[in-house]
């Protein structure tokens, strides 16, 4: 087995493991959501379509090229391939993408409201979690809307009436961002239920972003 084959296997295995974590961490239900990782300039590995996460093995994780063609694997890739590819195409800094249906964040997506900096951990995503315009799921148009919302400055966006998209340097980092988005969404939801949350200013978020670069090290 070549070094490339080993790398691809480990990446596909990671997609399986993080897929199961989506359920364990209450970031989705059933077979909802999807995950991907950049393998090289021309290929990504992405979770398969319609298979329960607990039943996915590394060999079931398709590898697709930048046109969305399956080049390795016998299982159909997630229907959200166009959205993932759009992010990788427009954000060369991104190495992993996670799409969830996490309940608190999706509540704000259904309201069409961004999540502001009512908790400092929003700095994992930027100064807020913006909202993408509604587009039908599994379309190139949804990918364009997600990319527009992310821009160059955000690592997460709410997909209006749909869910959440996160993107970062690696799949693990993108997954951590998804956890932070849901946590911040929950805190903001609860704070609003009691009163008016205080929102941190952008300059404080900028300072925090520098500190979080070494978070956990």
Q: Is 153 a catalytic residue?
A: no
**Which position among 17, 80, 133, 198 bears the catalytic label?**
80
What DSSP letter does each residue of 147-194 carry, written as one string?
HHHHTTT-SEEEETTTEEEEEESSHHHHHHHHHHHHHHHHHHHHHHHH
Q: What is d(CA 18, CA 36) in angstroms, rounded to the nearest whole number? A: 10
Q: Report the SS3 class of residue 96.
A: strand
Q: What is d(CA 62, CA 72) in angstroms, rounded to the nearest whole number? A: 6
Query: Quick one: 72 exposed, middle or buried, by C-beta within 10 A (0-12, 13-18, 19+)?
Result: middle
For residue 154, give Cα distances in angstroms to 106, 127, 203: 17, 8, 15
Catalytic residues: 80
């Amino acid at each position: 087995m070549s070094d490339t084959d080993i790398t691809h296997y480990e990446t596909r295995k990671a997609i399986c493991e993080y897929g199961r974590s989506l359920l364990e961490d209450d970031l989705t239900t059933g077979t909802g959501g999807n995950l991907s990782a950049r393998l090289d300039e021309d290929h990504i590995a992405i979770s398969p379509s319609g298979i329960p996460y607990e039943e996915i093995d590394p060999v079931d994780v398709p590898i697709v090229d930048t046109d969305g063609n399956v080049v390795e694997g016998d299982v159909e890739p997630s229907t959200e391939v166009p959205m993932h590819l759009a992010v990788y195409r427009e954000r060369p800094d991104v190495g992993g993408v996670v799409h969830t249906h996490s309940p608190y964040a999706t509540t704000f997506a259904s309201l069409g409201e961004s999540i502001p900096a009512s908790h400092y951990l929003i700095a994992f995503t930027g100064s807020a979690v913006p909202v993408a315009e509604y587009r039908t799921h599994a379309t190139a148009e949804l990918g364009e809307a997600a990319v527009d919302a992310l821009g160059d400055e955000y690592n997460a966006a709410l997909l209006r009436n749909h869910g959440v998209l996160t993107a970062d340097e690696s799949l693990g980092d993108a997954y951590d961002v998804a956890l932070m988005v849901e946590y911040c969404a929950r805190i903001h939801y609860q704070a609003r239920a009691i009163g008016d949350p205080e929102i941190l200013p952008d300059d404080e978020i900028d300072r925090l972003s520098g500190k979080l670069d070494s978070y956990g090290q």
